[in-house]
Amino acid sequence: MYQLIELIAVVSSAIYGVLLARRHGMDLVGVFSLAFMVAFGGGTLRDLFLDRNPLFWIANDHYAVIVFVLAIVTSLIPMLPEKTERWLNLPDAIGLGFFSIAGALAAVEAGTSLFIASMLGVVTGTFGGVIADVICNRVPSLFRPAPLYATCSFLGCWLMFLLNASSLPEAYAVPIAIAGIVLLRLAADRWD
Protein backbone atom coordinates (compact mmCIF):
# COMPACT_ATOMS: atom_id res chain seq x y z
CA MET A 1 0.00 0.00 0.00
CA TYR A 2 2.87 2.32 0.86
CA GLN A 3 4.19 2.10 -2.73
CA LEU A 4 0.78 3.03 -4.11
CA ILE A 5 0.47 6.07 -1.79
CA GLU A 6 3.87 7.31 -2.88
CA LEU A 7 3.12 6.76 -6.58
CA ILE A 8 -0.14 8.73 -6.42
CA ALA A 9 1.63 11.49 -4.45
CA VAL A 10 4.43 11.72 -7.04
CA VAL A 11 2.08 11.76 -10.03
CA SER A 12 -0.28 14.42 -8.65
CA SER A 13 2.58 16.60 -7.38
CA ALA A 14 4.28 16.35 -10.78
CA ILE A 15 1.04 17.40 -12.49
CA TYR A 16 0.80 20.36 -10.11
CA GLY A 17 4.43 21.31 -10.84
CA VAL A 18 3.90 21.07 -14.59
CA LEU A 19 0.75 23.23 -14.49
CA LEU A 20 2.44 25.80 -12.23
CA ALA A 21 5.49 25.99 -14.50
CA ARG A 22 3.30 26.34 -17.59
CA ARG A 23 1.39 29.18 -15.93
CA HIS A 24 4.70 30.96 -15.31
CA GLY A 25 5.60 30.59 -18.99
CA MET A 26 8.56 28.27 -18.46
CA ASP A 27 10.05 26.20 -21.27
CA LEU A 28 10.37 22.38 -21.26
CA VAL A 29 13.50 22.39 -19.09
CA GLY A 30 11.87 24.68 -16.54
CA VAL A 31 8.68 22.60 -16.59
CA PHE A 32 10.58 19.39 -15.94
CA SER A 33 12.84 20.94 -13.28
CA LEU A 34 9.93 22.43 -11.34
CA ALA A 35 7.84 19.24 -11.65
CA PHE A 36 10.82 17.25 -10.44
CA MET A 37 11.37 19.50 -7.42
CA VAL A 38 7.71 19.64 -6.42
CA ALA A 39 7.31 15.86 -6.82
CA PHE A 40 10.56 14.80 -5.12
CA GLY A 41 11.46 17.72 -2.81
CA GLY A 42 9.41 16.78 0.26
CA GLY A 43 10.19 13.07 0.09
CA THR A 44 13.90 13.77 -0.40
CA LEU A 45 14.03 15.89 2.74
CA ARG A 46 12.18 13.15 4.65
CA ASP A 47 14.63 10.49 3.41
CA LEU A 48 17.64 12.67 4.30
CA PHE A 49 16.25 13.50 7.76
CA LEU A 50 15.49 9.83 8.52
CA ASP A 51 18.68 8.61 6.80
CA ARG A 52 16.66 6.35 4.49
CA ASN A 53 18.85 5.00 1.77
CA PRO A 54 18.77 5.09 -1.22
CA LEU A 55 16.39 8.03 -1.71
CA PHE A 56 12.90 7.00 -2.80
CA TRP A 57 13.29 8.37 -6.33
CA ILE A 58 16.67 6.66 -6.77
CA ALA A 59 15.27 3.33 -5.49
CA ASN A 60 12.15 3.70 -7.69
CA ASP A 61 13.77 5.10 -10.81
CA HIS A 62 10.57 4.84 -12.87
CA TYR A 63 9.23 7.85 -10.90
CA ALA A 64 11.66 10.19 -12.72
CA VAL A 65 10.66 8.69 -16.08
CA ILE A 66 6.98 9.27 -15.24
CA VAL A 67 7.64 12.93 -14.38
CA PHE A 68 9.71 13.32 -17.56
CA VAL A 69 6.94 11.89 -19.76
CA LEU A 70 4.30 14.00 -17.98
CA ALA A 71 6.34 17.16 -18.63
CA ILE A 72 6.75 16.31 -22.34
CA VAL A 73 3.10 15.34 -22.85
CA THR A 74 1.72 18.46 -21.21
CA SER A 75 4.15 20.64 -23.13
CA LEU A 76 2.50 19.49 -26.34
CA ILE A 77 -0.92 20.60 -25.11
CA PRO A 78 -1.59 24.31 -25.62
CA MET A 79 -2.56 25.76 -22.26
CA LEU A 80 -5.85 27.36 -21.33
CA PRO A 81 -4.85 29.67 -18.43
CA GLU A 82 -8.34 30.51 -17.10
CA LYS A 83 -9.13 26.84 -16.69
CA THR A 84 -5.88 25.65 -15.15
CA GLU A 85 -6.08 28.20 -12.34
CA ARG A 86 -8.96 26.28 -10.84
CA TRP A 87 -7.49 22.86 -11.70
CA LEU A 88 -4.22 23.64 -9.91
CA ASN A 89 -5.89 23.11 -6.53
CA LEU A 90 -6.87 19.48 -7.08
CA PRO A 91 -3.45 17.86 -7.78
CA ASP A 92 -1.98 20.18 -5.16
CA ALA A 93 -4.40 18.94 -2.48
CA ILE A 94 -3.99 15.28 -3.50
CA GLY A 95 -0.20 15.58 -3.43
CA LEU A 96 -0.36 17.21 0.00
CA GLY A 97 -2.57 14.46 1.42
CA PHE A 98 -0.65 11.47 0.06
CA PHE A 99 2.83 12.90 0.79
CA SER A 100 1.90 13.98 4.33
CA ILE A 101 0.74 10.48 5.26
CA ALA A 102 3.70 8.87 3.43
CA GLY A 103 6.04 11.06 5.48
CA ALA A 104 4.33 10.34 8.80
CA LEU A 105 4.22 6.58 8.13
CA ALA A 106 7.93 6.48 7.23
CA ALA A 107 8.83 8.42 10.38
CA VAL A 108 6.76 6.15 12.64
CA GLU A 109 8.38 3.12 11.00
CA ALA A 110 11.81 4.69 11.72
CA GLY A 111 10.87 4.86 15.39
CA THR A 112 10.38 8.58 15.99
CA SER A 113 7.89 9.96 18.50
CA LEU A 114 4.41 10.76 17.16
CA PHE A 115 4.99 14.52 17.44
CA ILE A 116 8.18 14.28 15.35
CA ALA A 117 6.37 11.97 12.92
CA SER A 118 3.60 14.52 12.41
CA MET A 119 6.24 17.22 11.81
CA LEU A 120 7.93 15.03 9.20
CA GLY A 121 4.51 14.50 7.65
CA VAL A 122 4.14 18.27 7.35
CA VAL A 123 7.67 18.64 5.93
CA THR A 124 7.12 15.87 3.38
CA GLY A 125 3.73 17.22 2.38
CA THR A 126 4.59 20.89 2.08
CA PHE A 127 8.28 21.21 1.16
CA GLY A 128 7.73 20.70 -2.58
CA GLY A 129 5.34 23.66 -2.62
CA VAL A 130 7.70 25.78 -0.52
CA ILE A 131 10.52 25.17 -3.03
CA ALA A 132 8.21 26.07 -5.89
CA ASP A 133 7.30 29.32 -4.12
CA VAL A 134 10.95 30.23 -3.41
CA ILE A 135 11.89 29.46 -7.05
CA CYS A 136 9.00 31.57 -8.34
CA ASN A 137 10.18 34.26 -5.90
CA ARG A 138 7.02 34.60 -3.84
CA VAL A 139 6.69 34.58 -0.07
CA PRO A 140 5.93 30.87 0.48
CA SER A 141 2.17 30.52 0.90
CA LEU A 142 2.83 28.44 4.02
CA PHE A 143 3.71 31.72 5.70
CA ARG A 144 0.78 33.81 4.61
CA PRO A 145 -2.44 33.72 6.62
CA ALA A 146 -4.60 32.28 3.84
CA PRO A 147 -4.55 28.60 2.78
CA LEU A 148 -3.19 26.53 5.59
CA TYR A 149 -1.25 23.71 3.99
CA ALA A 150 0.68 22.88 7.15
CA THR A 151 -2.44 22.83 9.32
CA CYS A 152 -4.27 20.40 7.02
CA SER A 153 -1.23 18.15 6.92
CA PHE A 154 -0.68 18.29 10.69
CA LEU A 155 -4.33 17.57 11.53
CA GLY A 156 -4.44 14.69 9.04
CA CYS A 157 -1.39 13.05 10.59
CA TRP A 158 -2.92 13.24 14.06
CA LEU A 159 -6.23 11.92 12.73
CA MET A 160 -4.32 8.85 11.50
CA PHE A 161 -2.52 8.44 14.85
CA LEU A 162 -5.82 8.70 16.74
CA LEU A 163 -7.58 6.20 14.46
CA ASN A 164 -4.62 3.83 14.86
CA ALA A 165 -4.68 4.28 18.64
CA SER A 166 -8.39 3.43 18.68
CA SER A 167 -7.33 0.09 17.14
CA LEU A 168 -8.72 0.77 13.69
CA PRO A 169 -6.63 -1.25 11.19
CA GLU A 170 -4.16 0.81 9.15
CA ALA A 171 -5.90 -0.21 5.92
CA TYR A 172 -8.80 2.02 7.04
CA ALA A 173 -6.99 4.71 9.04
CA VAL A 174 -4.61 5.66 6.22
CA PRO A 175 -7.20 6.30 3.47
CA ILE A 176 -9.45 8.17 5.93
CA ALA A 177 -6.57 10.46 6.99
CA ILE A 178 -5.54 11.09 3.37
CA ALA A 179 -9.12 11.90 2.37
CA GLY A 180 -9.37 14.19 5.39
CA ILE A 181 -6.33 16.22 4.32
CA VAL A 182 -7.43 16.49 0.68
CA LEU A 183 -10.99 17.55 1.58
CA LEU A 184 -9.84 20.00 4.27
CA ARG A 185 -7.40 21.56 1.79
CA LEU A 186 -10.02 21.88 -0.95
CA ALA A 187 -12.50 23.33 1.56
CA ALA A 188 -9.90 25.89 2.71
CA ASP A 189 -9.42 26.93 -0.93
CA ARG A 190 -13.13 27.34 -1.48
CA TRP A 191 -13.82 29.36 1.65
CA ASP A 192 -10.79 31.56 1.27
Rule CB under 8 A: is residue 192 a binding residue for a copy of itself? no
119/182 with CB nearer a copy of itself: 119
Q: Which residues contact 96 (CB under 8 A, 6 or more apart)?
A: 125, 126, 129, 149, 152, 153, 181, 182, 185
Q: How far apart are alpha carbons 161 and 107 in whole angstroms? A: 12
Q: Is residue 16 within a helix (H) or strand (E), and if so which, with residue range?
A: helix 2-23
7/168 with CB nearer a copy of itself: 7
Rule CB under 8 A: is residue 25 a binding residue for a copy of itself? yes
Number of residues that bind a copy of itself (CB under 8 A): 43
Residue of 1, 29, 69, 179 interacting with a copy of itself (CB under 8 A):
29
Q: Are 136 and 55 within 8 A, CB to CB?
A: no
Q: Are 72 and 18 within 8 A, CB to CB?
A: no
Q: How far apart are alpha carbons 42 and 108 in whole angstroms? A: 17
Residue of 5, 9, 14, 34 interacting with a copy of itself (CB under 8 A):
34
Residue of 1, 2, 3, 54 interacting with a copy of itself (CB under 8 A):
54
Q: Write out the residues near a copy of itself by the rule CB under 8 A.
A: 21, 24-27, 29-30, 33-34, 36, 44, 48-51, 53-55, 57-58, 61, 64-65, 68, 112-113, 115-116, 119, 134-140, 142-145, 148, 150-151
